[in-house]
Amino acid sequence: MKWALVGVIVVCNACSDLLNTSGMRRYGEVHDLRPRALARLIATLARNPRILLGMIGMSVGFFALMALLSIAKLSFAVPATAASYVIEALLAKYVLHERLSAKRWAGALLVTSGVILLAM
Amino acid sequence: MPMSASKVTPMPSPATRAATSAPLLTLVLAVIGANSAGNFALRVGMAQVGRTVSLSPLPYLSALLNPWVLTGVALLIGWLILQLSLLSRADLAYVLPITAMANAVAALLGVFVLYERVTRTGWIGIALITIGAWLVGQTDSRTDSGVEGHFGELGRRA
């Protein structure tokens, strides 16, 4: 059961991040961060199907994490779901066509191990 | 719909953008700040409310009456908007490791504000996250179409 929830969380994180990223790519670059511009951004994104699906993914992932935390400790939940960083880096490469240099891989792996150690 | 009254222009002209554009580093720091502060406020608030793990939304709604929880939720809503703005300008494989700095910042907030202890393993974790985020920060922030170099305007290519 614990690992099933870990699976749900990792899949939801990956799907929502991919959907959000591709939704924002289609929207275009956001440069103006003044409150009025951000309010217009929210109004527009609320009609963006990819972002909406991304939000659903994030919500399911959040409640799966809450469920996991009710049966397991944070020191299990965080390291077990840290695989997200590596899986999403691969998805970024193959689905979003981002270039992953050796430096970026090294950084991502260091961050993943750091997150695991910090939660232990 | 009236013409252009509520229309959002995704790509402003370079001149408009220069005047209103937030540097990428500012956006990265805002994402990390909103996430760590939001989670920190939620943690303080939920400690006051008591442990709530439930599939029903009701306990979460009543927790919203706590000012710390409310502040945390507001900060995390802000984080979401900033995170989406950051994803519009930088690679996912760049954003994720860098914004993972929020884990380290949240732990440090616990140490300095709540006087929590971090184990030696935890300090090694904080160091690894920091070095990893710094390494990723040195790579091009956007490689799918090559629009922006690292931290924004420095590496803009034609």
pLDDT at A110 over 50: yes
Q: What is the mean pLDDT of residues A62-86?
A: 87
* Residues B29-38: tens digit of each pLDDT: 999 999 999 9
Residue B155 confidence (pLDDT): 39
d(CA A30, CA B142): 14
- Reported pTM: 0.82
Residue B72 confidence (pLDDT): 92
Q: Which parts of chain B have pLDDT scores under 50? A: 1-9, 146-158
Query: Which three-class secondary structure state does DSSP give residue A93?
Result: helix
- The answer to whether A52 contacts chain B (CB < 8 Å) is no
Query: Which three-class secondary structure state does DSSP give residue A77?
Result: helix
Residue B80 confidence (pLDDT): 93
Q: List, in sequence order, every residue forming a beta bridge with B21; answer none if it has no partner.
A: A32
pLDDT at A33 over 80: yes
Distance from CA of B114 to the nearest CA of A (A): 17
pLDDT at A113 over 70: yes
Residues recorded for chain A: 120
Distance from CA of A35 to the nearest CA of B (A): 11
Residues of B in contact with A15 (CB under 8 A): none
ipTM, 2 decimals? Answer: 0.91
Residue A67 confidence (pLDDT): 86
Q: Which residue has the tokens 């001149």?
A: B15
Q: What is the mean pLDDT of residues A70-94?
A: 88
d(CA B148, CA B27): 14
* Of A30, A43, A110, Cβ closest to residue B135: A110
Q: Residue B128 and residue A99: Cβ atoms within 8 Å?
A: no
Q: Residue B91 and residue A96: Cβ atoms within 8 Å?
A: yes
Helical axes B67-89 vs A35-45, angle rounded to 10°: 80
Residue B147 confidence (pLDDT): 44
Alpha-carbon distance values, A119 to A2, B106, B126 (Å): 17, 12, 10
